[in-house]
Structures are given as C-alpha cells and as structure tokens.
C-alpha cells in the first residue's frame, strides 16, 4: 500500500495494533492486504467486487478490520461486503473510509454492507469517514448498510464523520426479530459547502425487540445536513429516535423523524432539537480564560464526543 493509505488508516482504524486480527484493506478499488483467522474467514466475492466475511458460531473477542481508502482522484469505487455472524458470537468490526484527492476530479466510495447476525450474537460496528487532500475535486462517500438481526441478537453502530467529506449519503435499513436490539450512534460535522444526508429505516418485527437511534451533528459554514428516520413497530416493541444539531455560521439542518405503530403494543418515541450554541455557555468558558473561538471549539468537541 502507498504512504497516503498508511496515513489515513491510522486515522480511521487502530492500524498499528492489528496484531493477529483478521482484516481486508482496500486501496483505490483493489485489495492490498487480507488475512483470515481460525474463526473468521474473508474471501472475495466471485460475481462482484467485494468480500464475504464468515464468523464461526461461538466466536468471542475477535476484531475484524475492513477499511477502504481512495488515494487518487477520479476513482469511482463500489464494493459489496457480506457478513455472516454465527450464533452466540461477540465480535467487533472496524470499518471506515478515507477519500483523498489532489486534483479537480471527484472521487467516490460506495460501500454496500449486508449483515446477517445469528441468534444471541453481539456485534459492535465502528466506522469513521474522512476526506482530505489539496484538490478541488469533490470527496464523496455513499455507504449502504442492511442489517438482519435474528432472535436475541444485538448490533451497535458507532459512526463518525468530522468534516472533509464534500458529500455523503448514508442509508441504513434494519429488521429485528424477537428480543433483538439495535443501537446506532451517529456523529457528524460539516463545514464550508459540504452536504450530509442520513436515512434510517428500522422495522421491529419480533416481540420485545428494540431500537435506539441517536444523532449528534454540527453544521458550520454554508453546509447542509438532512436527517430522516423511520421506525416501524409491528408488535410489542420499543423504538426511540433522537436528533440534536448545532448550527454555526450559515449552516442548515433538516430533521424528519417518523414513527409508524402497527400494533397497540408498540412503544415509539422521537425527539429533535436544532439550534445555535447557547450564549451563556460561551460566556462561561470565556470567563475561564478561553477566547470565543476556543470556547466554541470546546463546546462542539464535547457535543460530538
């Protein structure tokens, strides 16, 4: 792999600590490193660009790395990754995408991930999205995540995008069986003329399943964000959607949470709050010796932490 990939991997993953973990590293649409383990197999798909990850039942404590990096301008990378997690497993998946361009040509990464989580398994999915480079070409990331949770399974997503990505459109769809749990924690910051779109749709099919969607975002400069969520409760279940956004400069945010209760036993709730940083917060930090700019930065860091 090239030096740009190595630099970006250190930002989006704990690249220096791969140890004996399984991994697939993608650079400019090609695999530049892959390793399977006794319990985790990673094999290429034969009908399209991508990989199939299979985790044996009962696998505990393992981490799988699947980062993707674009280091060249003018690249349009589409990859399909299918995950099959055996029953009674507990694993962590570290993904993430970094897009670098130094010209006026745009670069796009589109990762399409499908997760099939077996009974009583627990998966933590961590992803970071960044854009960098001196070029004027747009840096675009369009991830699609499709999740199927079997009975008693749980899936936690921790996703982070902190500026540098000119355009992103994240689509997440999930279906939950009985007693399954889904937690999504999203943090986004946009600046300049960047645009970020988030679209969640979760169907609660099984009794006593539940979902918790939490989004924190900051829109600075002339950037724009759109947050949409739809929770569909088909039986006795719980669903919660929360979207909090801070506006700075000329930033704009639209929030559209939607609930659909198709059962009298569905318990669904949504919350949304959009506004600028409170003046008293700035004043308090300035009284401690910070400049107004430093105070704003501290507030934003704490909000997105």
| 214-232 tens-digit pLDDT | 999 999 999 999 999 999 9
pLDDT of residue 14: 77
Residue 287, in any domain of the structure: no
Environment class of 197 (CB within 10 Å of its CB; exposed 0-12, middle 13-18, buried 19+): middle
pLDDT of residue 51: 97
Calculate mean pLDDT across residues 239-264.
Answer: 94
Structure tokens at 266: 């569905």
For residue 285, the surrounding DSSP H or E stretch is helix 279-286
Residue 285, in any domain of the structure: no
Residue 305, in any domain of the structure: no
Residue 23, in any domain of the structure: yes
Please give the residue that has the higher pLDDT: either 9 or 83.
83
Residue 291, in any domain of the structure: no
Cβ neighbour number for residue 109 with a 10 Å cutoff: 26
Tens of pLDDT, residues 109-159: 999 999 999 999 999 999 999 999 988 999 999 999 999 999 999 999 999
Domain that holds residue 237: 3-277
Residue 303, in any domain of the structure: no
Tens of pLDDT, residues 31-70: 999 999 999 999 999 889 999 999 999 999 999 999 999 9
Residue 290, in any domain of the structure: no
Residue pointed to by tokens 């009794």 = 207
- Domain count of the fold of the chain: 1
Could you tell me if 267 and 237 are in contact, meaning their C-beta atoms sit under 8 angstroms apart? yes
Which are the contacts of 38, defined by CB distance < 8 A and separation ≥ 6? none
pLDDT of residue 293: 81
pLDDT of residue 208: 98
Residue 184 has pLDDT above 90, yes or no: yes
Residue 286, in any domain of the structure: no
Dihedral class, residue 299 (left if φ above 0, else alpha if ψ from -120 to 50, else beta): alpha
Q: What is the pTM of this model?
A: 0.92
pLDDT of residue 303: 81
């Amino acid at each position: 792999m090239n030096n740009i990939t190595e630099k970006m991997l250190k930002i989006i993953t704990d690249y220096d600590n791969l140890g004996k973990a399984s991994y697939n590293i993608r650079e400019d649409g090609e695999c530049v490193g892959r390793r399977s383990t006794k319990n985790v197999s990673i094999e290429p798909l034969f009908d399209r660009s991508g990989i199939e990850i299979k985790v044996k039942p009962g696998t505990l404590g393992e981490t799988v790395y699947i980062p993707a990096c674009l280091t060249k301008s003018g690249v349009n990378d589409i990859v399909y990754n299918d995950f099959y997690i055996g029953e009674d497993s507990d694993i962590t998946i570290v993904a993430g995408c970094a897009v670098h361009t130094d010209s006026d040509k745009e670069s796009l990464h589109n990762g399409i991930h499908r997760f099939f989580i077996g009974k009583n398994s627990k998966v933590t999915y961590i992803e970071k999205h960044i854009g960098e480079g001196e070029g004027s070409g747009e840096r675009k990331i369009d991830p699609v995540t499709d999740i199927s949770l079997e009975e008693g399974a749980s899936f936690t997503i921790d996703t982070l995008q902190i500026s540098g990505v000119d355009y992103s459109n994240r689509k997440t769809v999930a279906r939950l069986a009985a007693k399954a749990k889904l937690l999504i924690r999203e943090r986004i910051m946009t600046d300049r003329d960047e645009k970020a779109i988030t679209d969640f749709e979760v169907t609660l099919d099984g009794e006593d399943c539940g979902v918790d969607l939490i989004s924190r975002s900051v829109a600075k400069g002339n950037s724009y964000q759109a947050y949409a969520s739809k929770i569909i409760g088909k039986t006795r279940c719980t669903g919660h959607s929360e979207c909090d956004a801070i506006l700075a400069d000329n930033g704009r945010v639209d929030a559209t949470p939607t609930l659909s209760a198709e059962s009298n036993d569905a318990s669904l709730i949504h919350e949304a709050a959009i506004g600028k940083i409170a003046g008293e917060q700035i004043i308090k930090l300035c009284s401690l010796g910070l400049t107004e700019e430093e105070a704003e930065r501290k507030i934003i860091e704490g909000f997105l932490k």
